[in-house]
Amino acid sequence: MAKAASKNAKVKDLKASAEAKNWTKVIKAIRSPKTGAYTFKESIIHKDLVKDFLASK
């Protein structure tokens, strides 16, 4: 028979999933001054820092 998951393991999983919801993947289009083509910068950052990331060059 399979072991049942302990109560402590379930609590740790809930805490980890709550913490993961605070992170966001942000994709920013950056235009190359040489060719005019767009490149994309991807980053996974905390949700409080999204505006700072998009405002920076």
Question: Does residue 15 fall inside a structural domain?
Answer: no
**Residue-number span of the structural domain to which 39 is assigned:** 22-57
Question: Does residue 30 fall inside a structural domain?
Answer: yes
Do 28 and 39 touch, CB atoms closer than 8 A?
Answer: no
Question: Does residue 8 fall inside a structural domain?
Answer: no
Give 20's pLDDT tier (boundaries 50, 70, 90): confident
Number of domains within the chain: 1
Give 27's pLDDT tier (boundaries 50, 70, 90): very high
Query: Can you give the pLDDT at residue 39?
Result: 94
SS3 content of the chain, % helix, strand, coil (to 5): 40, 30, 30
Question: Does residue 37 fall inside a structural domain?
Answer: yes
Question: Does residue 5 fall inside a structural domain?
Answer: no
Pick the more confident residue, 27 or 8: 27
Question: Does residue 9 fall inside a structural domain?
Answer: no
Task: Give the predicted TM-score (pTM) of the model.
Answer: 0.60
Do 23 and 16 touch, CB atoms closer than 8 A?
Answer: no
